[in-house]
Amino acid sequence: MSCLHTILYDFSAEAGNNELTVKEGETLTVTNQSIGGGWIEAQNSRGEVGLVPEDYIEVKETQKLLFVSLHFQFLHIYTFYRRLLNSLYSLCLKHNHVCMYLLSGAEDDEWDDEWDDMKSTGGYAESESGDGGGMQRGGAHAPSMKISLNKFPGFSKPGPELYLLCKQLAKSKERLPIYVGEVGPVWSYPETQLDCVVADPKKGSKMYGLKSYIEYQITPNTTNRPVNHRYKHFDWLYERLLDKFGSAIPIPSLPDKQVTGRFEEEFIKVRMERLQGWMTRMCRHPVLSNSDVFQIFLTYKDEKDWKTGKRKAEKDETVGVMVFSTIEPEAADLDPVEVEQKCEQFSRFTKAMDDGVKEILTVGNEHWKRCTGPLPKEYQRIGKAFQNLSSVFTSSGYQGESTLTDAMTAAGKTYEEIAQMVADQPRKDLHFVMETNNEYKGLLGCFPDTIGYHKAAIEKVKEGDKLVAASKITPQDKVTMAKRVSIMSYALQAEMNHFHSNRIYDYNRVMQLYLEEQVNFYETIAAKLKQAHGQFTTM
Amino acid sequence: MSCLHTILYDFSAEAGNNELTVKEGETLTVTNQSIGGGWIEAQNSRGEVGLVPEDYIEVKETQKLLFVSLHFQFLHIYTFYRRLLNSLYSLCLKHNHVCMYLLSGAEDDEWDDEWDDMKSTGGYAESESGDGGGMQRGGAHAPSMKISLNKFPGFSKPGPELYLLCKQLAKSKERLPIYVGEVGPVWSYPETQLDCVVADPKKGSKMYGLKSYIEYQITPNTTNRPVNHRYKHFDWLYERLLDKFGSAIPIPSLPDKQVTGRFEEEFIKVRMERLQGWMTRMCRHPVLSNSDVFQIFLTYKDEKDWKTGKRKAEKDETVGVMVFSTIEPEAADLDPVEVEQKCEQFSRFTKAMDDGVKEILTVGNEHWKRCTGPLPKEYQRIGKAFQNLSSVFTSSGYQGESTLTDAMTAAGKTYEEIAQMVADQPRKDLHFVMETNNEYKGLLGCFPDTIGYHKAAIEKVKEGDKLVAASKITPQDKVTMAKRVSIMSYALQAEMNHFHSNRIYDYNRVMQLYLEEQVNFYETIAAKLKQAHGQFTTM
């Protein structure tokens, strides 16, 4: 096995993956053929050792067959194990079985990596808006569909009464003040807004290349020091934020996970763009961006720091409805009638906006399909038809033909250029309208849950007299409940005001961008046609 | 029957049709109920008598039933007679029967009027390009499909040998010279080009309103004095030109006749536009425009003058292939090989151009459908979606919303305007591309026939030696044939050069017009969107 093998194609090693750069025609000594995952460990003539793709090395057929056979046996066992685990999860999801909790406790981080990255979107509400240009445009899923295994083994989240009737609120050093600004109740906003850049997606691999993933570099504007995170870390962050703040603040889901085309350049680009969008939204939120868990995600110093932060966040007990206990509105208690009115208003608005956003997505998706499908084909055919007729004219043998034929050919080519422009345009403008509305569709999908908590709390307060009469609560409890539902209302109002201000900013920005690009598009077409027009003789 | 009847709806009389203007509620005395065609003669309270639509008058049921019954009996007899005539014609067409000739002789001008205006396009090759915007775009039919009843009762046009072997050419004072210009053989062109304006279509009626038709006013630039003609007169002119010049000059068919929507404003407009196009093409042709029959059509002084001219034209005997006997090329005889080469070249070119033109018509027709169908609907839906979302935003209750919502509403309205622009645009530009190419499709459809005569003549000349050997012709006949086929070739070349020069002019003009309108279209859209963009806040 230690004989020399010839390299069939050039291969450039990726830094940090223990790979070896080799040139076509170079000879290597294979040092370890049992790496798996399509990799072979080899040593070059300069004594350097590293991984090289199996297919890049000339291997004698018998050796190769033996290796491939072993490789498949290994993959079989691996696949079998994954499938077993998958079935158990599915079974638990179906039967609400207690083993869910056991399984979740039996988390094996190594194995779970790939599971996490690879699993399909089956557990989420499927994306409604179809395929734009070969890529699935991100649909959103309601966070209620996402089951957090660590926190709620019983699958029923605690209702608002846990907070409303809590005798002694835990003294937490956390404090979320609400002020009353010009627009009404508002969160406390930082002086400089946190921001971060998600960039530089890198393919990494584990277990000798059998498992591979994408790692993104996230650089916050506070430290200007990049940290690396995989999709599963974003997912962990999402889970933590959802657990802790989900009752008060709608936490939009992460962009969909996808199995197919995971390493395709375009897919990585779009996923990164969406992770950037999600992170930007989180950064812009004064409560979320300021939370310990978000800060540790963005600013951990080393692996140890990260692990410690993770463990601490997972142990946080001020989660679910108890987050309201940290909220401190600096304003007078609200009348329960006003609380209910506000809640109803927000409910109506978010429902109506959800419909409006979905309408834009549907229409935009159809327009996308037309712009990238039949429309450019038609312009191309118009262009071809002009050019074909021009070429017939050229064959007339009649003198003085060329001014017309040159001009007609140019006009035909212009329509072919227009075809290309039409097909390319949606990525330049409609794309951003679709992305923004998709984000809002996701965000709006979280509101029914958030508003649901409030409605349940309002109902509880309404029952107050009856509960007192039935001696289920004391009159003092009733007063406390009314006070606490007022706090919840302040939180909801602050959140709605945050939503409105962001919405106005986002839609103003995306509409401007869209119209700007549309103006460019039509002006460029007009200019091109003007030039083509100029080639004809004036009569 | 002389009792008073009440008018049900307002009716405005059209001038010159013997109609009576009436108001709803007015009472009339019916003076003649047997007019037919949906009209009743009545007298108003001021003593004025005129025709009023039957349906506008309240009639007692029994009276009405009686009248309707009589009316239908009359219509039945009329329809029966028409159908009988129709069947006889069809039978003759199928069986090449001699009765065709008899029937054609038994022409009844009064009855034939309506027959002529109303008959469907069944006898013609059907139009290929479909419906653009509610109107059938004019397809063309090969003139060979049109059977001239008066001239060729046997259905087989005389072949070129009639001319090639004619012993003594009739001395006609007609003379069609051909000169050799820069581009080769050319017809003799007049110093000022004849032109005419087809305008002012008027509805006329005969037989007490039972038969109605459209009369057009044609004003030539030579006399500047308008003459009136109905479609059937144009058709008569077409037949005369085809009979007389069809062997040498492709005579494009008239625009299709249509039964449906004959009095619809839009249909009349389009038919007039096409009659104008046809007349312009005839005027531009130096031989056709200068012919006696064309001149009498354009410049007759009174009804008597017209009838005399008609009779004279119908008696013309220099028709069919004999038209070549009037052609006098002022150049040396052509070698039969060159004659054949030219003929082949023209045949190839016209076939190739026919394909090119049909491609443009097909593509243009699809584009028309998209521009007037799904595309504006989509822009409208985009516009509505923006406006709907804007209207949801307005309901937010959040302050400082109006700048965004006003801008979004304006953007939405702009897309609705764009929808309308997109739907209207084809009538402003594509329409002329389609009309020009339709005209050329018609014209090119005539070439196979014209070229066919030449090919048959060339074959005859090729057989010359054999015919001499078989003593079917004398050696002198052979020489005459070669000379005459050279004359035919000069005619064909002059015609092709006329075609080429017109083609370059027409396509240069229509392409310029198209591109100019397209530039306007895209620039207007860009300007509208720029304005909409300006309404958003700059950030």
Distance CA A419, CA A386 (A): 14
Most confident of A115-129, A250-264, B506-520: B506-520
Closest in A357, A381, A533 to B512, CB measured? A533
Partners of residue B411 in chain A, C-beta under 8 Å: 511, 515
Burial of B372 (0-12, 13-18, 19+ CB in 10 A): buried
Are B361 and B437 in contact by the 8 Å Cβ rule? The answer is: yes
Most confident of A8-12, A45-49, A237-241, B17-21: A237-241
Nearest CA-CA distance, residue B344 and chain A, Å: 12
Does A515 contact B536 at a Cβ distance shorter than 8 Å?
A: yes
Q: What percent of chain A has pLDDT over 90?
A: 51
Confidence grade of residue B78 (pLDDT, cut at 50, 70, 90): low
* A contact residues 351-370, partner B, Cβ 8 Å cutoff: 352-353, 355-357, 359-360, 363-364, 366-367, 370
> Average pLDDT in the B421-444 region?
95
Closest in A375, A526, A532 to B526, CB measured? A526
Pairing type for strands B49-53 and B39-43 reads: antiparallel
pLDDT one-digit tens code per residue, A368-402: 999 999 999 999 999 999 999 999 999 998 988 99
Comparing alpha-carbon positions, the chain A residue that sits nearest to B501 is: A398
Partners of residue A513 in chain B, C-beta under 8 Å: none
Distance CA B1, CA B312 (A): 51
Q: Say if residue A143's pLDDT is above 50.
A: no
Q: Does A199 touch chain B (CB under 8 A)?
A: no
* B contact residues 482-511, partner A, Cβ 8 Å cutoff: 497, 500-501, 503-505, 507-509, 511
Q: Does A411 touch chain B (CB under 8 A)?
A: yes
Q: Say if residue B288's pLDDT is above 90.
A: yes
Partners of residue B501 in chain A, C-beta under 8 Å: 398
Residue A258: predicted pLDDT: 56
Q: Does B98 touch chain A (CB under 8 A)?
A: no
Residue type, A193: Q
Q: Say if residue A140's pLDDT is above 70.
A: no
Q: What percent of chain A has pLDDT over 70?
A: 77
Q: What percent of chain B has pLDDT over 70?
A: 77
Are B20 and B52 in contact by the 8 Å Cβ rule? The answer is: yes
Taking residue A177's Cβ as centre, other Cβ atoms within 10 Å add up to 13
Give me A186's structure tokens. 């508002």
pLDDT one-digit tens code per residue, A36-78: 666 778 888 888 888 887 777 775 544 444 555 555 555 555 5
Are A190 and A216 in contact by the 8 Å Cβ rule? The answer is: no
Does B392 contact A359 at a Cβ distance shorter than 8 Å?
A: no
Comparing alpha-carbon positions, the chain A residue that sits nearest to B393 is: A353
Residue B96: predicted pLDDT: 41
* A contact residues 43-62, partner B, Cβ 8 Å cutoff: none
Does B388 contact A363 at a Cβ distance shorter than 8 Å?
A: no
Q: Does B532 touch chain A (CB under 8 A)?
A: yes
Residue B517: predicted pLDDT: 97
Residue B400: predicted pLDDT: 83
Comparing alpha-carbon positions, the chain B residue that sits nearest to A525 is: B522
Q: Binding-site residues of B, please?
A: 230, 232, 271
Confidence grade of residue A154 (pLDDT, cut at 50, 70, 90): very low
Please state the separation of Cα B524 from the chain's center in Å.
34
Distance CA A173, CA A292 (A): 12
Residue A269: predicted pLDDT: 84
Q: Return the sign of the alpha-carbon dihedral for residues A103, A106, A109, A114.
A: negative
Distance CA B250, CA B496 (A): 10
Long-range CB contacts for residues B17-26, cutoff 8 Å, separation at least 24: B17/B51, B17/B203, B17/B204, B17/B205, B17/B209, B18/B50, B18/B51, B19/B50, B19/B51, B19/B52, B20/B44, B20/B48, B20/B49, B20/B50, B20/B51, B20/B52, B21/B50, B22/B52, B22/B56
Are A18 and A31 in contact by the 8 Å Cβ rule? The answer is: no
If phi > 0 it is left, if psi is from -120 to 50 it is alpha, else beta; for residue A51 that is beta
Q: How far is CA A368 from CA A117, A256, B356, B532, in A?
A: 29, 20, 31, 21
Pairing type for strands B27-36 and B211-220 reads: unpaired
Distance CA B302, CA B280 (A): 23
Distance CA A367, CA B419 (A): 13
Q: How many CA atoms lie within 13 A of B92 on its CB side?
A: 19
pLDDT one-digit tens code per residue, A450-508: 899 899 999 989 898 899 999 988 999 898 889 999 999 999 999 999 999 999 999 99
Residue A350: predicted pLDDT: 96
> Average pLDDT in the B74-100 region?
48
**DSSP letters spanning B461-523:** HHTHHHHHHTTSS-HHHHHHHHHHHHHHHHHHHHHHHHHHHHHHHHHHHHHHHHHHHHHHHHH
Q: Say if residue B385's pLDDT is above 60.
A: yes
Closest in A370, A404, A522 to B504, CB measured? A404
Calculate the average pLDDT of chain B: 80
* A contact residues 176-195, partner B, Cβ 8 Å cutoff: 182-183
Residue type, A271: R
> Average pLDDT in the A359-372 region?
96
pLDDT one-digit tens code per residue, A243-269: 999 989 999 999 876 545 545 677 788
Are B172 and B317 in contact by the 8 Å Cβ rule? The answer is: no
Residue A447: predicted pLDDT: 93
Confidence grade of residue A22 (pLDDT, cut at 50, 70, 90): confident
DSSP three-state, residue B208: coil
Closest in A508, A525, A533 to B536, CB measured? A508
Does B401 contact A522 at a Cβ distance shorter than 8 Å?
A: no
Residue A103: predicted pLDDT: 35
Q: Does B377 touch chain A (CB under 8 A)?
A: no
pLDDT one-digit tens code per residue, A318-328: 888 888 989 99
Residue A36: predicted pLDDT: 66
Partners of residue B525 in chain A, C-beta under 8 Å: 522
Q: Return the sign of the alpha-carbon dihedral for residues B419, B422, B428, B432.
A: negative
Confidence grade of residue B98 (pLDDT, cut at 50, 70, 90): very low
Are A492 and A247 in contact by the 8 Å Cβ rule? The answer is: no
Distance CA B529, CA A445 (A): 32
Confidence grade of residue B355 (pLDDT, cut at 50, 70, 90): very high
Give me B110's structure tokens. 């009064």
Confidence grade of residue B37 (pLDDT, cut at 50, 70, 90): low
Give me B375's structure tokens. 């595309």
Closest in B366, B385, B516 to A533, CB measured? B516
Q: Does A531 touch chain B (CB under 8 A)?
A: no
Does A539 contact B511 at a Cβ distance shorter than 8 Å?
A: no
Nearest to A489 by CA among A349, A337, A339: A339
Nearest CA-CA distance, residue B414 and chain A, Å: 11
Q: What ipTM goes with this model?
A: 0.74
Residue B447: predicted pLDDT: 92
Distance CA A168, CA B210 (A): 99
The per-residue b/e assignment along A253-280, b for 16 or more CB within 10 angstroms, e otherwise, is bbbbbbeeebeeeebbebbbbbbbbbbe
Are B306 and B300 in contact by the 8 Å Cβ rule? The answer is: yes
Pairing type for strands B327-329 and B176-181 reads: parallel
Are A528 and A418 in contact by the 8 Å Cβ rule? The answer is: yes
**DSSP letters spanning A385-438:** HHHHHHHHHHTT--TT-HHHHHHHHHHHHHHHHHHHHHHHHHHHTHHHHHHHHH
pTM for the full predicted model = 0.73
Taking residue A59's Cβ as centre, other Cβ atoms within 10 Å add up to 19
Q: Does B408 touch chain A (CB under 8 A)?
A: yes
Confidence grade of residue B22 (pLDDT, cut at 50, 70, 90): confident
Distance CA A53, CA A310 (A): 35
Burial of A240 (0-12, 13-18, 19+ CB in 10 A): buried
Confidence grade of residue B233 (pLDDT, cut at 50, 70, 90): very high
Closest in B352, B397, B404 to A508, CB measured? B404
> Average pLDDT in the A425-445 region?
95
Q: Does A374 touch chain B (CB under 8 A)?
A: yes
Give me A409's structure tokens. 């050919």
Q: Return the sign of the alpha-carbon dihedral for residues B527, B529, B535, B539.
A: negative
Task: Lowest mean pLDDT of A57-66, B263-272, B356-365, B518-527, name the range.
Answer: A57-66
Q: Say if residue B257's pLDDT is above 50.
A: yes
Confidence grade of residue B170 (pLDDT, cut at 50, 70, 90): low
pLDDT one-digit tens code per residue, B113-165: 433 343 333 222 233 333 333 343 433 333 333 333 333 333 346 677 778 87
Residue B301: predicted pLDDT: 92
